[in-house]
Amino acid sequence: MRATGERLDEILELLRTDGGRVTSARRAVVQILVDSHDHISAEEIAERVQRQMPDVAPSTVYRTLDVLERLGQVEHVHLGHGPSMYHLSERVHVHLMCRGCGRMIELPDSYLDDLATRLADEHGFVLEPRHFALLGRCTDCA
């Protein structure tokens, strides 16, 4: 995985190349995502940005996340009934969410390769499993 500063610079350059301005608010959003080693909600990102820059509106954070997602740098996932959670897209994975305790397990998306192949072969359906968590029960709650 790339160094934090290198990854930050790479994403900011993509924003510039896309024609976007690199404002202090956008830089703060990207820095929070790069520094985060877990999934983080847009609301939490907005709160962290506003601690540094109280005048930044939450809508600025949401628009920045939308642009980053369009550029393929960020993915969001729905983990159960809570808010969408964001993470950098360099770690491709699927999510398992325990309905009992809320534990989340990350798995490489290759775990679903056989299912994806079967769905494509039998139904012409292309599986996109990273957007939603697969719900079930962990070993402790089963």
Residues 8, 70 within the same domain: yes
Verify that 99 and 69 share a domain, yes or no: no
Task: Please answer whether residues 38 and 18 qualify as being in contact, where contact means their C-beta atoms are separated by less than 8 angstroms.
Answer: no
Out of 45, 75, 105, pick the residue that ends a domain.
Answer: 75
Q: What is the pLDDT of residue 3?
A: 66
- What's the CATH number where 70 sits? 1.10.10.10
Give every CB contact of residue 68 below 8 A, 6+ residues apart in sequence. Answer: 11, 15, 29, 30, 33, 74
Does the residue 87 lie in any domain? no
* Residue 113 sits in the same domain as residue 71: no
Higher pLDDT: 4 or 21? It is 21
What is the arithmetic mean of pLDDT over 113-139? 92
62 and 99 inside one domain: no
Same domain, yes or no, for 65 and 119?
no
Do 68 and 116 belong together in one domain? no
Q: In sequence order, what are the beta bridge partners of 19? A: none
Domain of residue 60: give its range: 4-75
pLDDT tens-place string over residues 88-107: 887 778 889 899 998 889 89
Q: What is the pLDDT of residue 18?
A: 92
Kindly state whether residues 100 and 59 are assigned to the same domain: no
Cα–Cα distances in Å, from 54 out to 31, 50, 51, 58?
Answer: 17, 4, 6, 10
For the domain that residue 114 is a member of, what is the CATH number? Answer: 3.30.1490.190
Total domains in the chain come to: 2
Per-residue model confidence as pLDDT tens digits over 46-75: 999 999 999 999 999 999 999 999 999 999
Query: Are 63 and 122 members of one domain?
Result: no
Does residue 81 belong to any structural domain of this protein?
Answer: no
Burial classification of residue 25, based on how many CB atoms lie within 10 Å of its CB (0-12 exposed, 13-18 middle, 19 or more buried): buried
43, 75, 107 - which closes a domain: 75
Token pair belonging to 121: 């072969």
pLDDT band at 1 (very low <50, low <70, confident <90, very high): very low
The reported pLDDT for the residue numbered 129 is 83
